[in-house]
Amino acid sequence: MHLSVLQVAGIAYFIGFLFLLLIRSYDKYDPEPLWRLAVFSFLGGIVAVGVSSVLYAFVHPKLNLTDAVLKVGTVEEFSKLLTLFILYKIIKKEFDEIVDGIIYVAAVSLGFSVIENIFYAQHAVFPLWLLFKRFLFATVGHISFSVYMGIAFYVHKKVKTNYAGLFLAFLLSTLAHGLYDGLLFNKNLTFLFLPLYILLIFFQFRLLKVAYAYSKMKEAFDLSNFKTLKNNVKTWHCCHCDQNDAKLVSYKNVDLLICHTCEHLMIPKSAFDRLLKFYRPKLNQKLFYQNLHGVNEKVVVNQHETIVYNSLQKRFNADFIDLKNWFTNGNQSDLALYHNTLEGRIFYRLGFKYLW
Tens digits of per-residue pLDDT, 132-173? 999 999 999 999 999 999 999 999 999 999 999 999 999 999
Give pLDDT, residue 304.
Answer: 83
CA distance 337 to 212: 16
**C-alpha angle 127/131/134, rounded to 5°?**
135
Residue 229 and residue 255 in contact, taking contact as beta carbons nearer than 8 Å = yes
- What are the residue boundaries of the structural domains of the chain, listed by start? 5-214, 223-327
Give pLDDT, residue 124.
Answer: 85
Give pLDDT, residue 293.
Answer: 73
- State the pTM of this model: 0.91
Give the residue-averaged pLDDT of 226-232.
Answer: 77
CA distance 352 to 337: 14
Q: Is the pLDDT of residue 300 over 90?
A: no
Residue 92 — very low, low, confident or very high, per pLDDT cuts 50/70/90? very high
Q: Is 315 helix (H, G, I), strand (E, B) or coil?
A: strand
The residue type of 170 is: F
| pLDDT 10s digits, 96-131 | 999 999 999 999 999 999 999 999 998 888 999 999
Give pLDDT, residue 265.
Answer: 93
Residue 4: left (phi > 0), alpha (psi -120 to 50), or beta?
beta
Give pLDDT, residue 1.
Answer: 62
Indicate the average pLDDT of the chain: 92
Give the residue-averaged pLDDT of 65-74.
Answer: 96
Give pLDDT, residue 310.
Answer: 87
- C-beta atoms surrounding 305 within 10 Å: 12
Strands (E), the chain: 227-235, 245-251, 254-259, 265-268, 298-300, 307-310, 315-318
Please give the C-alpha separations between residue 336 and each of 209, 210, 292, 333, in angstroms, as whole numbers.
14, 11, 22, 5
Handedness of CA 63, 69, 71, 74 (dihedral sign): positive
Q: Is 28 helix (H, G, I), strand (E, B) or coil?
A: coil
Please give the C-alpha separations between residue 190 and each of 71, 185, 197, 202, 351, in angstroms, as whole numbers.
20, 8, 11, 19, 34
Residue 226 and residue 252 in contact, taking contact as beta carbons nearer than 8 Å = no
The residue type of 291 is: N
The residue type of 279 is: Y
Per the document, the length of the chain is: 356
Residue 217 and residue 99 in contact, taking contact as beta carbons nearer than 8 Å = yes
CA distance 220 to 327: 11
Q: Is 262 helix (H, G, I), strand (E, B) or coil?
A: coil
| pLDDT 10s digits, 307-331 | 999 888 889 999 999 999 999 999 9
Residue 282 and residue 336 in contact, taking contact as beta carbons nearer than 8 Å = no
Residue 73 and residue 173 in contact, taking contact as beta carbons nearer than 8 Å = yes
